[in-house]
Structure 1
């Protein structure tokens, strides 16, 4: 149907639910689209049907480097030939050290064409010496045969690690290398023989395309085996409920890193599956790199916009005074999609207001739920809802299992063709990940928007594993409480950590926005800033007055002087907080949080 609000062809939510003993099971009633056999089947199709359409684009100095679908297929087959000539296959992975680039994309597809897994890694593993431990752990576990970087000089320090001894290193730029490297151009120059077609015929739905490592917030990173079937099924599932993706080729200008499933599988494959164009945004939602994002979007905006909430927040702030960016961003926009956290309602409302101003109607604004282990989309909102915080309903061919507690908060488990077969070389962790019915145990919690109407969808309600008990025995749902605190303290804080395990009250570690701290009045790791403390105290009093019970009442807080440390494991490679590590590492501050005489304490 054509939706009156957005003007897009959409499919309304339609869910079936059954109850068995203590569990609820939900499935979608939407007919599912057919599933491609392999990702590169899409590339073959579009190279034949739309050979001159730009598939990949990246900034190259003052201009842009564009690669069409026809060119991409030629390059991919040459790379596959180079890998086959090196006798590489399913047991000889390629580690990718650098971030998003056209050559990164071509190598990934060339490897998939030849059935060689890639292991894309976070840039900081290589670029930050303190993070080299993560790099050596992954390399030691996977033992790749080849490594790729876009700039051997920039990655020279990492490439000196012993784990690279005996490994072929391929680089786009070779100047300044700390060891012998192969030029990426040499792979592209490889002659394509009949062996390439013969090898590609051996690639099927169960072939591992890549190994994506989780962020390792509570243990060592786990390698998620990501198969062709997982990626192809997931694109078919999403196209089933968002049919407008097939009505015209989509376009994105996207920064989300490819070592994560959101950018590297969800967004990337959506462009390939639908004959779209992927403009690689060299910027990021950080103070240093955001100007590049503004420039890239202004020059090459998308029809779809994917981002995390902080990225949308920065865009809204910039677009208030940047008419050119605002016009470019909304001019042709069909979809705004956020993930990673709940989008603040004021940001949602600002995006709606700007969209109406520029084009007279709203894009579809939605979110989703998924994990690295689910390829990722499993639950998705696919109709207009007008508010933030809803993750949607099951996608076609998936089944979700809900285990409700006494308050109808439900532990979430999932099953479907987009779910991983297991973790790389880790049968014990794989076995622990599944329940006795074969559902993936996610550790996340959800609630129904309306208990009487499952078609209204679900909201995310935190991590079950983050919950804890107070001394009174009362359970605290830390994930949900954190989101509430962030909403109340918006504009003052970057993030918060909920504390209180085995204590008599709930407290906060507050990570302040740097522009809100006045002067340098730190005291052994805590900020003493009367102005900021007073503002936070006032808002916390409002929160406390609205709280219903001790499990929702935050009574104390301390402002952290030192931001979370990547080196010490307080930040995951996804940029999220490792709350367990923060609380453990800052044990002295935790004690001060419960010292009523401490001058840094904010108490209500």
Structure 2
């Protein structure tokens, strides 16, 4: 019996490590049109007018505490950027930004990944009221024609562009930003001029910096976060100072224990994405904590540096994606030193980016109880780039349920009937005022009452007790119809499949738009699947041989047969699957920047595999569900 099929696990009754959380009492308004409005009874406390007030505070109170830490070039030790150094650097760089005449019409654009220099420039821009635009490095390093980078440059008209390595980013700096002032911290680019970051750090201060800081207010644009643009041109989400400050306070009240002790984070998430760059970095800054730059990635192949970091640094809160948590699991099982350090101070595991399969949840419960005799609370919420990014969260033990929870303090959530679903909409200080220079899409994203229409669907945890909050019910645009006209709930079906195939599947992508039945592309966990190969040379098998082995195919066939017995008709049953030996990656766009799988990109790039799944005569590698009668006891275990 799979972990994902357990109706109850005794570990769920083990108390979790005590921690202080925010309120969970909400008011609920039912409306005649079928919509429901939620608001938390706990009020939002006051918050700063500008985010770098917190930098000034901690630089005064705890000047020598590290704000950031990163591995040295040789990987032998951690080097630190203290709060005092961060404030001094931000003020010097802010002086240089003002001298260059940067403004909302000529913002700062940052091309390179996380780092001390990136952080100092971002803090400098926030401190003096210059908007900054963090951009995924993929637009500069992986693109041949720079189409999306050129679009961003045309929309934002930057007055300064920063890249840590001028040689690495040289082609993009020449072809896209030829006339724009350029700043680098490493090698100079060939074929164009550039200033050195170290020189800018030595900029003499004038009264202009303090004057600019005093003029920064709640409506000042802090930064512009561009969405991925997978369904059209990227949208520039405006982050005002009000958004940045209010949501940091909202998160601090929801995770109230963060007000009791400075948060320690070990984080790999990219800063051009709002999870890492707004939520996680902002959490450390707001609470006077320390953010360790995890040099790893959330895949089995690239998680080694993460494991090394977590052997040394004990996080107070650990934020990751389901992919990242899954990749960490085997190391926690096998390495007692890692496990003891990881759980030694850990108060909360918070996941985002996708739903967490139950087998991962159960495994972390088991490891925590084994290590410290208690569970560590695991929970999530629901949000998005346009909402701060955390307008909803659980603040209680969800007992392995994937829930959106309740609004954070100061946010109103409205759920509105849209077709067969209920759309979740937001209003509050943490919601964006709109999209950068895009009035049309801004107007289309808000309803008549001013609520932002998220495109996420919600369902009531208990229809008889609405005050308990909401479950996530998939994306409105992600769901599709079969040829019969029946809607398919992709998120629910994907999670059911992951739980069924666990722990031998890393991810599942559902196909079937305008088709007669559902199929899926399954990405096996190759390391876990070696144990199913049934021979003594399993460790030597390559990916294709692992996927084609009899033991692996038998496991997935058996679980596919069980999935086919689910109730609900053709929209709830997967009829065929293909096991993919080539894993999705960040580089090919099938994984998002936060490690979540992109359903649309996988289906587009592997359209030949989808076509194969619908051949009239199944191909040899296609696994086809074999329907059969299932005893009541077994049927009760079906996801």
For Structure 1 versus Structure 2, the TM-score category normalised by the shorter chain is: over 0.9
Residue aligning to 1:14: 25
Structure 1 residue runs of 5 or longer lacking an equivalent are: none
Residue aligning to 1:489: 501
Taking the aligned partners of 2:476 and 2:93, their CA distance within structure 1 comes to 44
Structure 1 position 405, deviation (Å): 6.9
1:161-215 deviation digits (Å, cap 9, x = unpaired): x211011221221256553321111111001100111111221111111111111
Contact 1:342/1:388 (8 A) holds in 2: no
Structure 1 position 529, deviation (Å): 6.2
Taking the aligned partners of 2:172 and 2:166, their CA distance within structure 1 comes to 10
Taking the aligned partners of 1:521 and 1:299, their CA distance within structure 2 comes to 32
Q: 2:461 aligns with which of 421, 430, 449?
A: 449
Residue aligning to 2:631: none
Residue aligning to 1:316: 329
Mapping for residues 388-407 of structure 1, pairs under 5 Å: 388-404=401-417
1:371 lines up with 2:413 in the alignment: no
Contact 2:380/2:393 (8 A) holds in 1: yes
Taking the aligned partners of 1:205 and 1:229, their CA distance within structure 2 comes to 4
Residue aligning to 1:169: 182
Contact 2:517/2:575 (8 A) holds in 1: yes
Residue aligning to 2:291: 278
Structure 1 position 7, deviation (Å): 2.3
Taking the aligned partners of 2:343 and 2:325, their CA distance within structure 1 comes to 13
Q: Classify the secondary structure of the residue corresponding to 1:81.
A: helix
Residue aligning to 2:538: none
Contact 1:140/1:163 (8 A) holds in 2: no
Mapping for residues 311-350 of structure 1, pairs under 5 Å: 311-350=324-363
Q: 1:435 aligns with which of 437, 447, 450?
A: 447
Structure 1 position 601, deviation (Å): 2.7
Structure 1 position 156, deviation (Å): 2.9
Q: 2:192 aligns with which of 151, 167, 179?
A: 179
Taking the aligned partners of 2:293 and 2:605, their CA distance within structure 1 comes to 37
Contact 1:348/1:388 (8 A) holds in 2: no
1:497-539 deviation digits (Å, cap 9, x = unpaired): 22222222112133344555987898xxxx8666544432221
1:256-275 deviation digits (Å, cap 9, x = unpaired): 11111111111111111111
Residue aligning to 2:44: 32
Q: Classify the secondary structure of the residue corresponding to 1:209.
A: strand
Specify whether residues 544 and 30 from structure 1 end up closer, same or farther in structure 2 by C-alpha distance, changes over 3 A only.
Answer: same
May I ask how many residue pairs the two structures share in their alignment? Answer: 596
Residue aligning to 1:51: 63
Taking the aligned partners of 1:337 and 1:311, their CA distance within structure 2 comes to 12
Residue aligning to 1:387: 400
Taking the aligned partners of 1:294 and 1:26, their CA distance within structure 2 comes to 40
Specify whether residues 563 and 11 from structure 1 end up closer, same or farther in structure 2 by C-alpha distance, changes over 3 A only.
Answer: closer
Q: 1:108 aligns with which of 101, 107, 122?
A: 122
1:145-174 deviation digits (Å, cap 9, x = unpaired): 2111222233234333x2110112212212
Taking the aligned partners of 2:525 and 2:329, their CA distance within structure 1 comes to 17
Specify whether residues 74 and 36 from structure 1 end up closer, same or farther in structure 2 by C-alpha distance, changes over 3 A only.
Answer: same
1:601 lines up with 2:589 in the alignment: no
What TM-score does the superposition give when structure 2 sets the normalisation length? Answer: 0.88
Taking the aligned partners of 1:467 and 1:272, their CA distance within structure 2 comes to 38
Structure 1 position 587, deviation (Å): 4.4
Contact 1:95/1:148 (8 A) holds in 2: yes
Residue aligning to 1:258: 271
Specify whether residues 344 and 100 from structure 1 end up closer, same or farther in structure 2 by C-alpha distance, changes over 3 A only.
Answer: same
Compare 169-178 and 46-55 and name the one that shifted more. 169-178
Contact 1:145/1:167 (8 A) holds in 2: yes
Structure 1 position 473, deviation (Å): 2.2
Structure 1 position 426, deviation (Å): 0.8
Specify whether residues 530 and 294 from structure 1 end up closer, same or farther in structure 2 by C-alpha distance, changes over 3 A only.
Answer: closer
1:211-231 deviation digits (Å, cap 9, x = unpaired): 111112211211111111001
Mapping for residues 147-296 of structure 1, pairs under 5 Å: 147-160=161-174, 162-174=175-187, 177=190, 179-296=192-309
Q: Classify the secondary structure of the residue corresponding to 1:191.
A: coil
Structure 1 position 29, deviation (Å): 0.7
The alignment's C-alpha RMSD in Å is 2.5
Contact 2:566/2:572 (8 A) holds in 1: no
Contact 1:152/1:178 (8 A) holds in 2: no
Structure 1 position 17, deviation (Å): 0.8
Specify whether residues 130 and 493 from structure 1 end up closer, same or farther in structure 2 by C-alpha distance, changes over 3 A only.
Answer: farther
1:256-304 deviation digits (Å, cap 9, x = unpaired): 1111111111111111111111111122223443111111122222211
Taking the aligned partners of 2:325 and 2:17, their CA distance within structure 1 comes to 20
Contact 1:170/1:182 (8 A) holds in 2: yes
1:537 lines up with 2:557 in the alignment: yes
Mapping for residues 542-553 of structure 1, pairs under 5 Å: 542-553=562-573
